Amino acid sequence: MDFGTHEHSRLHSTQQVAHAAGISSRTLRYYDQIGLLPPVSTTSTGQRLYDSSSLVRLQRILLLRATGMELKTITAILDQEQDEKAALQKHIITLERQRSLLDRKILTLRNTITILDKGDTMGLHDSFEGFNEQYEQEVTQRWGKDQFTRSNNWWKSLPETRRIDFMEESRSLITRWATAGKQGLAPSSTQAQELAKDHVTWLESIPGTPGHHADPAVLHGYVRSLAQMYVSDERFAATYEGQAQFVHDTLEYFLDHQRD
């Protein structure tokens, strides 16, 4: 979506904006109805008009929507943020990380094709290169390089069958979270709290992480930090199918009310 800097002071019609952004006019009208992207003005005939700030907001809406985030959540995020330039910079950082990870995955798959063409056997380490390191920077920044290195070494040392089992456990947990959130369960409900307990137990089982065999205070701090990352990092909106806030609230309630 490229509108050009020379159009900074111009007003654009619904049809013009929709065409440039690759969406329908009906979508823009709906965004107006729910308060997500109201026009800056309307003509005497009721035509909606948008300015440069509208275009920037629409860019962000489309970026967040692509992660699977619900529209009401996007509205809340955009309305709460004051520094638009800083927010856009965060988008750039997130997209650059995603691009880097995607490049590594593409390289791994190309290497796989080369190995298969030669009739060779795929090595265990090569099979998953780039698939288990998507949060390397976050882990390093929050808990140190040593934590990431130990956890990553543990992952690479696992037999292939255990890796598959672990990934299945992770997918199962994510599916349960998404299902519970879409069912509208309260974070304090018995079912949600059982899910939180399973999630914390799963986190404790991962060697090299701050929560592995840690005392309760360290474990709780680790889980709270992760819970916050679930709602602050756009990627988790897609991972949990738009239910990241539910995951956060349920884990926080679990930690606040744990009696052990």
- Same domain, residue pair 251 and 164: yes
Q: Which residue has the higher pLDDT, 214 or 238?
A: 238
Same domain as 103, residue 20: no
The residue with greater pLDDT, 250 or 95, is: 250
Is residue 57 in a domain? yes
In the chain, the percentage of residues whose pLDDT exceeds 70 is 69
Q: Is residue 213, in this structure, part of any structural domain at all?
A: yes
First-to-last C-alpha distance (Å) of the chain: 53
204, with CB counted inside 10 A (0-12, 13-18, 19+), is middle
CATH label of the domain that carries residue 19: 1.10.1660.10
Domain residue limits at 61: 5-80
What mean pLDDT comes out for the span 113-130? 55
DSSP 8-state assignment for residue 239? H
Residue 136: inside a domain, yes or no? Answer: no
* Number of domains the chain is built from: 3
Q: Is 195 exposed, middle or buried (0-12, 13-18, 19+ CB in 10 A)?
A: buried
User: Does any domain span residue 15?
Assistant: yes
In-domain check, residue 233: yes
Whether 221 is covered by a domain: the verdict is yes
Query: Are residues 81 and 87 in contact, defined by beta-carbon separation less than 8 angstroms?
Result: yes
Asked, for residue 62, whether it belongs to a domain, the answer is: yes
SS3 letters across 127-192: HCCCCCCCCHHHHHHHHCHHHHHHHHHHHHHCCHHHHHHHHHHHHHHHHHHHHHHHCCCCCCCHHH
On the question of pLDDT at 141 being above 60, the answer is: no
Query: Which CATH number is 219's domain given?
Result: 1.10.490
CA atoms within 13 A on the CB side of 235: 14
- Mean pLDDT over the full length of the chain: 78
Enter the pTM of the model: 0.47
* Per-residue pLDDT tens digits for 54-94: 998 998 898 888 766 788 888 888 887 767 777 777 777 77
Q: What is the pLDDT of residues 215-234, one digit of tens each?
A: 788 788 888 888 888 887 77
Residues 246 and 155 in one domain: yes
